[in-house]
């Protein structure tokens, strides 16, 4: 069922390019942090799906909560004059790599178990 997120991603990209949407340049840093949080959520969802404990409510709420929280953290950092967005970058970056490593291990284990069964 990998085509569902791929199709959604492609549709989102096409829609974005067709409407030529953009935001003021000063807000692009917030959006970049929000994208990082969203990527973390997506890979977390893929990992949960592979581990057979995917929960769509947790997934959806996590997506919106993480995205908004990251953007808010970056905004507060700008207001306080502290680079708080670095904390979000670090946290989501580490989690992203952890999730990717887990996904890799799960796929490898699954392929091994399929080889054994065959």
Helices (H), the chain: 3-19, 28-50, 56-80, 85-117
Residue closer to other proteins (CB basis): 8 or 82: 8
DSSP string, 22-41: ---GGGHHHHHHHHHHHHHH
Q: Choose the stretch contacting other proteins; rule: CB under 8 A; options: 36-44, 78-86, 92-100, 102-110.
A: 36-44
Least distance (Å) between residue 51 CB and other proteins: 14
What phi and psi values does residue 102 have, to the nearest 5 degrees? -65, -45
Q: Choose the stretch contacting other proteins; rule: CB under 8 A; options: 40-48, 75-83, 88-96, 101-109.
A: 40-48
Among the listed residues 50, 59, 75, 98, the single contact to other proteins using CB under 8 A: 59
Residue closer to other proteins (CB basis): 60 or 76: 60
Closest CA to 74 of 34, 35, 40, 25: 34
């Amino acid at each position: 069922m990998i085509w569902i997120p791929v199709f959604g991603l492609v549709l989102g990209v096409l829609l974005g390019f067709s409407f030529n949407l953009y935001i003021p340049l000063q807000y692009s840093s917030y959006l970049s942090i929000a994208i990082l949080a969203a990527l973390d959520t997506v890979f977390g969802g893929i990992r949960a799906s592979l581990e057979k404990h995917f929960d769509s409510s947790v997934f959806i709420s996590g997506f919106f909560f993480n995205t908004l929280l990251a953007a808010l953290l970056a905004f507060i950092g700008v207001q306080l004059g502290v680079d708080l967005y670095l904390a979000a970058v670090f946290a989501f970056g580490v989690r992203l790599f952890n999730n990717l490593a887990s996904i890799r291990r799960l796929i490898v284990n699954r392929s091994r178990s399929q080889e054994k069964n065959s």
